[in-house]
Amino acid sequence: MMEHIIAMKSTHILFITCIIVLIAMWPLVTKDGSINTLNQGQTNSGQKIKLLIVPGHEPNDGGAIYLDRKERDMVLILSRELQQLFATDKRFEVMVARDESGFTPTFQSYFDANADTIKLWQAQKKKETVELITSGTLKEIKEIEHNRASDVAALHLYGINKWLNDQRYDLVVHLHINDDNRKKRKTPGKYKGFSIYIPEKQFTASAKSRMVAESIKKELEQHFATSTLASEKGTVLESQKLIATGRYQTLDIPSVLIEYGYIYEPHFERGAFEQGVAQQMAEDTYRGITNVLFP
Ligand SMILES: [Zn+2]
């Protein structure tokens, strides 16, 4: 009985201590708008925030398709809009991984020159992660089934992660449009709304990724509905499996993967999307990012 009371008391003390620590840390978490918020390795104040925009999928392969709508082309429109907003913002240095001509020269030459290095590095990271899971150090979580990337697409995504780590980038934003895996591809699917994926909480930079994601969510939800898919409830979702959010712990920097909605939703109709919707989505994303970094 006594032991029970002592156990209860120490649980209470632990709980109260946690609350005090959290309250004490809160200003640091929310008010530090400097580059250090995103990348603790960089300490020079006044340094530009290095952001990479990755339009989802390969230049000529993969991604959702609905009637005349092709995700891999539509995310290029989003990417261009987003890039334009950042282009006039001196606080950022922005690169894109892919444009209308394919992967940009920086990335294409990086992939060409480093394919074997990327594969070896990925295999090593995978081995280390599997060992951590086996030993119980890392807990594997159950999550929604994601479409598997082709071998080439996977190589490119891991390559981008490695490049981001090596270049000490501050943030990466992956742009996607979702799809409902269904038989009748010419009729709209069941679900709608946007969601944002981030690294799982045991992964590096998960907390920072969440701050960025929640801020983007706050802006997007003023114009667009959040996902109605049960497993996307909460809208900001953690993943261990997506390469873009650092599968096998291959990414050291904050990452957000935005699924802007389901491709068959009316606002993705080509005319509507190209004449305002894409711009709105880009503006919301831009505000979400800048609000959290420069509160
Ligand atoms: Zn996609």
Find the 113 Cα to ligand 1 centroid distance in Å.
26
- The answer to whether the pTM exceeds 0.95 is no
Find the 246 Cα to ligand 1 centroid distance in Å.
16
**E strand segments, 115-243:** 171-178, 195-199, 236-239
Mean pLDDT on 159-165: 98
CA distance 170 to 91: 12
Q: Which residues contact 123 (CB under 8 A, 6 or more apart)?
A: none
pLDDT for position 142: 86
pLDDT for position 19: 52
pLDDT for position 45: 60
Find the 154 Cα to ligand 1 centroid distance in Å.
13
How far lies 26's CA from each of 21, 45, 288, in Å?
9, 21, 19
In the structure encoding, which two tokens stand for residue 285, read together? 């994303």
Find the 58 Cα to ligand 1 centroid distance in Å.
10
Find the 176 Cα to ligand 1 centroid distance in Å.
4
CA distance 106 to 86: 19
Q: Would you tell me which CATH number, out of the four given (3.20.20.140, 3.40.630.40, 3.40.50.720, 3.40.190.10), belongs to the domain 35-293? A: 3.40.630.40
Find the 229 Cα to ligand 1 centroid distance in Å.
16
CA distance 8 to 13: 9
Would you list the domain boundaries of the chain?
1-31, 35-293
3-class state of residue 187 by DSSP: coil
Find the 75 Cα to ligand 1 centroid distance in Å.
9
Mean pLDDT on 6-19: 51
Convert the pLDDT of each residue in 255-279 to its tens digit: 999 999 999 999 999 999 999 999 9
In the structure encoding, which two tokens stand for residue 210, read together? 């969440």
Find the 81 Cα to ligand 1 centroid distance in Å.
18
Q: Would you say residue 22 has pLDDT above 50?
A: no
127 contacts 75 by C-beta, under 8 angstroms: no
In the structure encoding, which two tokens stand for residue 103, read together? 């992967």
236 contacts 196 by C-beta, under 8 angstroms: yes
